[in-house]
A and B are shown apart, each in its own frame.
Chain A
Amino acid sequence: GQQVMQIPQYQHVQEGEDFTTYCNSSTTLSNIQWYKQRPGGHPVFLIQLVKSGEVKKQKRLTFQFGEAKKNSSLHITATQTTDVGTYFCAGPDNYGQNFVFGPGTRLSVLP
Chain B
Amino acid sequence: EPEVTQTPSHQVTQMGQEVILRCVPISNHLYFYWYRQILGQKVEFLVSFYNNEISEKSEIFDDQFSVERPDGSNFTLKIRSTKLEDSAMYFCASSHRGGGYEQYFGPGTRLTVT
The contact string, 1 if C-beta is below 8 Å from chain A, for chain B 61-100, is 0000000000000000000000000000001010000111
A-B contact count (CB 8 A): 58
Number of B positions contacting A (CB below 8 A): 23
Contact A88 B42 (CB under 8 A): yes
Contact of B99 among A90, A92, A103 (CB under 8 A): A92
B112 contacts the other chain (CB 8 A): no
Task: Give the distance in Å from the alpha carbon of A46 to the alpha carbon of B50 in the complex.
Answer: 24
Q: Which residues of B contact A45 (CB under 8 A)?
A: 102-104
Task: Give the distance in Å from the alpha carbon of A31 to the alpha carbon of B95 in the complex.
Answer: 16
Which one of A17-25, A71-79, A93-101 is at the interface? A93-101
Contact A33 B48 (CB under 8 A): no
Contact of A42 among B33, B42, B102, B106 (CB under 8 A): B106
Q: List 11 contacting pairs A-B, 8 Å CB cutoff, sorted by A.
A: A41-B107, A42-B105, A43-B91, A48-B102, A92-B99, A93-B56, A96-B100, A97-B56, A99-B100, A101-B43, A104-B43
